[in-house]
Structure 1
């Protein structure tokens, strides 16, 4: 294989590919990026047996061919080469010579035959959204995907389609995030996409009206984003019946500015760190919310102006879970619902139902 490519094109491609490459595997080829040169293009592929990504960039191909190169080493070389173009020459013994400007590297490759094939998504349903909408839906929910493997199905987000509406839902036992959007897909369909996959998809999505296609099969899903294709296994199991967990009424209703709430919680959280933890105590009374935090480092208090209707209440929250929800509201004003100190808090937009967050409270100790 002998090719010449634009350095910036190659840098972007290998940087995205490297995140997908398996870091711990008994198959050496999976620690590499598969390069396939043909005609006037170079195809790159990375795969960790659960998540795969491919992309194509323009190339001057003097000799077509295939090779697997160490993802970390090749990416580091590409990023640091000084020239505007990169020349790559791989011989029959899989010895790769990389030249750019005055730099020249010779590294050992792996036979392309050892790289496993990506799964094919067959008999899948095609769901189309704009890039900006899918980006918003993932961004506003992926923060609530479970990190623990206590229930593996919750390490992903549920995509549930019914009657022209798409719900994306994530839960982790302490909070829930749901984002809803009208789509043209009218069938009933649901599947669970791993959080790792969604994080990679999120990095590729742009705030544009360009279409993005999702092909959902029985065991795999494929995302087509610009010139990238992402293929992922789907998670299997019974997802939480989230509709049953959403409170239908609130004894206390609050309207407030999201930026005020974020900044206030951030201030009282200054006394909390990874070693020193304490809940944020929130006291809701007429037109204001007072926040308190007490740790071995000291005490902090703050307050927020708000429109409050209903019962006065006192409730505590984990500061990180509360901040995650507030930061992902992405709107100026939010509507909060409370039904006592031990029931989950709901957070939604002031108008409409585009998103809903639930945050479980923390039981407060009496001072």
Structure 2
């Protein structure tokens, strides 16, 4: 195999493709990137058996062929090359020579036959969604994905497609996030995408772009086409939480809160909390004020912020990180908060509508015992 191409585009593509390379494996090929050269194109593929990525670049191919190169080493070599052009040649023994200007590296490749086959979606249902909408939806739900493998289906997000609507739901046992958006869609489907896949997809989306990306849903896999890259991922199987039964609309207290003020107050209270010194943040939701306190062996803090409250005064405790994650995910100036006593979940909505719903379970305070 022999080809030459521009270094920057090649290096950038390798850096992206490298995200789907396995870092913990006993199979050397999974630590590499498969490079195929033919018809003045080079195709780069990575696959960690959960998610795979592919992209194609223009190149001057003089000898077609394929090889697998260690992703970490090859990526570092490309980044350090001195000129804007790179020449790659691979001999019969898979010795790969990388040349740029006066610099020359020789590294040993792995046979392409040892690289795992990327799944092919022969039958799938297709739909498209603007990049900025999908980016926003993932961003506002990914923080609730479970990291506990006890129930693997909750280590991903549930996608629900119905006529002209898409909904993404994440849950981790302590929090719930539901994000709904209107889109041009006629497909009805439900599937669960792994959190790792969504994390990588989010990095590749352009949050300011309203250009559509294409998605293809198969029986066991999902395919995304984003900015010249194809990402294929397995879907998670199992019974996802019936989230509708968890969102109880009853409430005895409604509060309108400035998100920035509330976030800053919780962050101030969090200064006394660490992995070693854990304590809930205590919130008293009172008329026109929220009193925030926290006490640990290192000290005490008291803070208060203005709010507009309708209904009963409530005192509740929260895990500071869970509450902060929800507030930061709101991405708006003001929110509506609904409470139904000290032991029911806090429900967070935007000021208008139900574009997002966040539930945060309270922590039982000692005085509640």
TM range (shorter): over 0.9
Say yes or no: does 1:307 pair with 2:315.
no
Match of 2:277 in 1: 276
Asked whether the equivalents of residues 127 and 187 of structure 2 are also in contact (C-alpha less than 8 Å), the reply is: no
Could you say what secondary structure the match of 2:29 adopts? helix
Match of 2:133 in 1: 133
Q: Distance in 2 between matches of 1:313 and 1:354?
A: 26
Q: Distance in 2 between matches of 1:40 and 1:305?
A: 64
Match of 2:212 in 1: 211
Match of 1:241 in 2: 242
Match of 2:251 in 1: 250
Q: Judge which range, 172-181 or 48-57, deviates more.
A: 48-57
Q: Distance in 1 between matches of 2:156 and 2:359?
A: 17
Could you say what secondary structure the match of 1:271 adopts? coil
Q: Distance in 2 between matches of 1:143 and 1:57?
A: 34
Q: Judge which range, 216-225 or 274-283, deviates more.
A: 274-283
Deviations 1:42-90 (A, max 9, x none): 1110001111001112222222211100011111111222222222111
Alpha-carbon RMSD across the aligned residues, in angstroms, is 1.3
Deviations 1:112-135 (A, max 9, x none): 111121001122111210010011
Q: Distance in 2 between matches of 1:347 and 1:32?
A: 44
Match of 1:21 in 2: 21
Q: Distance in 2 between matches of 1:36 and 1:197?
A: 24
Q: Distance in 1 between matches of 2:259 and 2:170?
A: 21
Match of 1:326 in 2: 327
Match of 2:153 in 1: 153
Q: CA deviation at 1:362?
A: 0.4
Q: Distance in 2 between matches of 1:303 and 1:58?
A: 60
Alignment of 1:21-170 (within 5 A): 21-170=21-170
Q: Distance in 2 between matches of 1:102 and 1:307?
A: 69
Q: Judge which range, 18-27 or 164-173, deviates more.
A: 18-27
Q: Judge which range, 337-346 or 20-29, deviates more.
A: 20-29
Deviations 1:5-57 (A, max 9, x none): 22221222111122211122232211100011122221110001111001112
Q: Judge which range, 297-306 or 218-227, deviates more.
A: 297-306
| Runs of 4+ residues deviating >6 angstroms | none
TM-score by length of structure 2 reads 0.97
Unaligned runs of 5+ in 1: none
Could you say what secondary structure the match of 2:166 adopts? strand
Q: Distance in 1 between matches of 2:250 and 2:82?
A: 62
Unaligned runs of 5+ in 2: none
Could you say what secondary structure the match of 1:56 adopts? strand
Q: Distance in 2 between matches of 1:263 and 1:8?
A: 42
Q: Distance in 1 between matches of 2:8 and 2:298?
A: 48
Deviations 1:171-214 (A, max 9, x none): 00000011101122223210000000000111110020111111
Q: Distance in 2 between matches of 1:365 and 1:48?
A: 47
Deviations 1:207-260 (A, max 9, x none): 201111110111000001110000000000000000000021221111111111
Say yes or no: does 1:181 pair with 2:149.
no
Q: Distance in 1 between matches of 2:82 and 2:233?
A: 35
Q: Distance in 1 between matches of 2:358 and 2:51?
A: 28
Could you say what secondary structure the match of 2:30 adopts? helix
Deviations 1:280-326 (A, max 9, x none): 10011111111111111111121221111111010011011001111
